[in-house]
């Protein structure tokens, strides 16, 4: 039986997300692997990989909040918004206290507007921004709304004339932490850039659950990797769980629509659910249709296939 589930990888610095996927494909000797959101090469931390049929739930996992631990440097700015770029501005001395910096962090709680950085994968007129940036071009970008659910200062340290601020942020999909660092600097009237970034949680998976590439290779050689995978339905546990009656379970697996009365507890509002049979086997993702009230299949998972 081929591997199936979510493989939580700790991405090391110096590798792209694509590099990690490619290496994992070689280790596992399988092609059907997808990730739930890229990380820049120098960023470390949680990179969930979906193996086999688990690739069908990538879109549901991507919508979940992500948590990061970051360090920003007050007093210096770069063209990439991190230390990989060229310095574009700096001050002789930062005259900001850690208390003032912490107060500025708190002002970013809630829904905020961000302009995607030039060094990002966002497309403008069919071309990725980082491609334009490498050509020395700067183009106008539309701002987008993102949400910062939690943000807290973790520490501070003077780095010569500059002040490094470490913080933790829980945020929505699409948030650029590099840009957040720059905007925090602007709120304090200073140039700023990101020094370090680690993703500590993605799709409900924490860094403590992750395996290194070396550990994955060892477990694969020992034939024990499957027991370390997160089950598909557990990865989408933010969707409410419901059970279908035994007489209708076969119909559900055949992709038929179900009466709302066949499902318990009652599905009260439209949206996706996880559906199980009476023995607890995961049958797939279903959705209550607003007009008819029927429970319709979205993605069926035949047990044992």
CB 153 within 8 A of CB 167: yes
SS3 194: strand
CB 204 within 8 A of CB 238: yes
Helices and strands: H and E segment counts in the chain: 8, 18
Would you state the structure tokens that stand for residue 188, as one six-digit string?
A: 């304090």
Which helix (H) or strand (E) segment is 233 a member of?
helix 232-235
Which helix (H) or strand (E) segment is 202 a member of?
strand 192-202
List the one residue out of 88, 117, 102 whose CA is nearest residue 154: 102
List the one residue out of 212, 247, 235 whose CA is nearest residue 282: 235
Would you state the structure tokens that stand for residue 76, as one six-digit string?
A: 């210096």
CA angle 59, 266, 273 (to 5 degrees): 10
CB 48 within 8 A of CB 9: yes
SS3 182: helix
233 is an active site residue: no
Sorted by sequence, the CB contacts under 8 Å of residue 205 that are 6+ apart come out as 6, 8, 46, 48, 230, 235
Q: Which of 19, 40, 79, 92 is catalytic?
A: 40
Sorted by sequence, the CB contacts under 8 Å of residue 169 that are 6+ apart come out as 67, 68, 70, 148, 150, 151, 175, 177, 180
Residues carrying an active site annotation? 40
């Amino acid at each position: 039986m081929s591997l199936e589930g979510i493989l939580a990888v700790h991405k090391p610095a110096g590798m792209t997300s694509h590099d990690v996927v490619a290496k994992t494909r070689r280790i596992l000797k399988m092609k059907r692997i997808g990730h739930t959101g890229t990380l820049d090469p120098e960023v470390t931390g949680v990179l969930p990989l979906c193996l086999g049929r688990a690739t069908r739930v990538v879109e549901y996992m991507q919508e979940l909040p992500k948590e990061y631990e970051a360090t920003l440097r007050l007093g210096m700015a770069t063209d990439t918004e991190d230390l990989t770029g060229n310095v574009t501005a700096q001050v002789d001395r930062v005259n900001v206290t850690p208390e003032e910096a912490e107060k500025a962090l708190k002002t970013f709680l809630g829904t905020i507007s961000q302009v995607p950085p030039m060094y990002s994968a966002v497309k403008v007129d069919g071309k990725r921004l980082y491609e334009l940036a490498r050509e020395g071009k700067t183009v106008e970008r539309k701002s987008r709304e993102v949400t910062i659910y939690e943000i807290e200062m973790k520490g501070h340290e003077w780095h010569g004339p500059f002040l490094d601020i470490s913080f933790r942020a829980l945020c929505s999909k699409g948030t650029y932490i590099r840009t957040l660092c720059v905007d925090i600097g602007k709120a304090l009237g200073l140039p700023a850039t990101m020094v370090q970034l680690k993703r500590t949680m993605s799709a409900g998976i924490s860094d403590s659950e992750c395996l290194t590439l070396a550990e994955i290779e060892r477990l694969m050689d020992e034939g024990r990797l499957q027991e370390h995978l997160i089950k598909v339905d557990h990865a989408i546990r933010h969707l409410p769980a419901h059970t279908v009656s035994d007489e209708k379970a076969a119909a559900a697996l055949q992709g038929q629509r179900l009466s709302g009365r066949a499902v318990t507890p009652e599905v009260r509002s439209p949206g996706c659910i996880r559906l199980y049979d009476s023995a607890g086997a995961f049958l797939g993702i279903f959705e209550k249709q607003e007009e008819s009230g029927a429970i319709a299949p979205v993605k069926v998972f035949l047990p044992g296939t």
